[in-house]
Amino acid sequence: MTDGKDLGNANLLHDAMIQLGDAARAAMRELLAVPADAKNRALREAARAIRDSTSALAAANAKDMKTAEEKGTAGAMLDRLLLTDGRIEAMAKGLEDIAELDDPVGSIMAEWPRPNGLQIQRVRVPLGVIGIIYESRPNVTADAGALCLKSGNAAILRGGSESFHSSTAIMKCLQAGLRAANLPVAAIQMVPTTDRAAVGEMLTMIDHIDIIVPRGGKSLIERVQNESRIPVIAHLDGNCHVYVDRAADPTMAIDIIQNAKMRRTGICGAAESLLIDRTCAPELLPGIINALSQAGCEIRGDDATQALDKRVVKASEKDWDTEYLDAIISVKQVDGLDEAIDHINRHGSHHTDAIVTEDSAAAEKFLKNVDSAIVLHNASTQFADGAEFGMGAEIGISTGRLHARGPVGVEQLTTYKYVVRGDGQVRP
């Protein structure tokens, strides 16, 4: 343990975590009765506190940066860790944006009367206590805490040890917001130690935490999914496909594949694989390959594709299952729509897949039969994003099937209860 409170031995850590959990559970119960206004006020006051604390945040961040640099941390990670004035302002603005979102809590999802006179409503309520486990980006402390609060949940945050001082300083601002709105301060808590064993503790606190959301690299997410005794909402792989149908508009095909692959290569909605109908490949593929190559993309193709352009290197079987997150794409020619759908369902990660075609029957078949969280017709896979969907901020994109699929915004951080109103009914 290098930072944070020294919690001594395993028993002390366990007791501290249980205390945190008890406080979260109590805060969550209080939040059940809190109106939208109070939550929004807390978010706006937290934003104000963040702006007022710009220099304190920068100083805390400087400590984390210094330690990270001394450890020889890689440049990309250092960049994720850094809080500039611009990033601090963006964090404050992010809280205000979340305050502006519609409050999902209390909305009536469905209601119906029964012949015996009972009135039944299905009403949105908070999920409960949410545990967020994340890596170096300190702004997740503000984003995740705010999304949980907006949806009426208590949050227990566990950030990376490298951002401990930054996150602690951000946490103070969030709690100042809670205090200003007379909300329980334990509505957003941070694990007060960098001890890695705290993550293990969190993942077994089935009586205190209702759901775990890991945010970070694949190894973090796999650890959480393997160890957690609590249900997990996680984003695993984004092995996204674009299928160019025989009835595709040639210009649109080039535009979409170019954008889906190259706009940003490091995001989960970036395309990793291009499938194309064998019958239109000779006509369309040379232009697509040329455009991608000129943009600096490495192309790994099957034999038929390699034969078209010598810049294409040979794809191995493994390429069909690979999320590159880089300027590389795999290309395979298929015998029409059915093979494309089958390939995507077998090799894809059920995240986001697109078809380019002017044939609406082919499009509808693709949209229905491709078993992914997001399916698109004539649009780039890079739209896989909560903000692009108009859902506001998101805590991630779920590749699981249960509870939340696709972008996880404030609505997906709720559950429901049944409210039944009668006038003395008893069951015969």
Residues forming contacts to a copy of itself in the complex (CB under 8 A) are 29, 32-33, 112, 114, 118, 120, 125, 127-128, 210-211, 231, 249, 252, 255-256, 258-260, 263, 345, 363, 365, 367-369, 371-380, 382-383, 388-390, 400-403, 405-406, 415-427
Rounded to a whole number of angstroms, the minimum distance from the CB of residue 342 to a copy of itself is 8
Cα–Cα dist 13/246, whole Å: 61
When the beta carbons of 12 and 252 are compared against a copy of itself, the nearer one is: 252
When the beta carbons of 148 and 173 are compared against a copy of itself, the nearer one is: 148
Contact of 393 with 143, CB cutoff 8 Å: yes
Rounded to a whole number of angstroms, the minimum distance from the CB of residue 349 to a copy of itself is 12
Cα–Cα dist 12/388, whole Å: 45
User: CB-based burial of residue 14 (10 Å sphere; 0-12 exposed, 13-18 middle, 19+ buried)?
Assistant: middle
Rounded to a whole number of angstroms, the minimum distance from the CB of residue 311 to a copy of itself is 23
Contact of 163 with 136, CB cutoff 8 Å: yes
Cα–Cα dist 334/355, whole Å: 13
Contact of 36 with 183, CB cutoff 8 Å: no
When the beta carbons of 97 and 249 are compared against a copy of itself, the nearer one is: 249
When the beta carbons of 6 and 423 are compared against a copy of itself, the nearer one is: 423
Rg (C-alpha) for the chain, rounded Å, is 24
Cα–Cα dist 141/405, whole Å: 23
Rounded to a whole number of angstroms, the minimum distance from the CB of residue 415 to a copy of itself is 5
When the beta carbons of 86 and 390 are compared against a copy of itself, the nearer one is: 390
When the beta carbons of 142 and 148 are compared against a copy of itself, the nearer one is: 148
Which two three-digit tokens encode residue 79? 């960049």
Cα–Cα dist 224/279, whole Å: 45
Type of residue at 242: V
Cα–Cα dist 33/49, whole Å: 25
When the beta carbons of 249 and 298 are compared against a copy of itself, the nearer one is: 249
Cα–Cα dist 386/187, whole Å: 24
Rounded to a whole number of angstroms, the minimum distance from the CB of residue 65 to a copy of itself is 32
When the beta carbons of 8 and 117 are compared against a copy of itself, the nearer one is: 117
Rounded to a whole number of angstroms, the minimum distance from the CB of residue 326 to a copy of itself is 18
Look at residues 316, 248, 259 and name the one whose alpha carbon lies nearest to residue 285. 248
When the beta carbons of 85 and 388 are compared against a copy of itself, the nearer one is: 388
DSSP H or E stretch at residue 188: strand 188-190
Look at residues 26, 145, 154, 155 and name the one whose alpha carbon lies nearest to residue 91. 145
10 Å Cβ neighbour count for 271?
A: 28
Type of residue at 374: I
Contact of 302 with 315, CB cutoff 8 Å: yes
10 Å Cβ neighbour count for 255?
A: 14
When the beta carbons of 111 and 303 are compared against a copy of itself, the nearer one is: 111
Please report where in the chains the tokens 């330690």 appear, as a residue.
Answer: 67
Contact of 353 with 372, CB cutoff 8 Å: yes
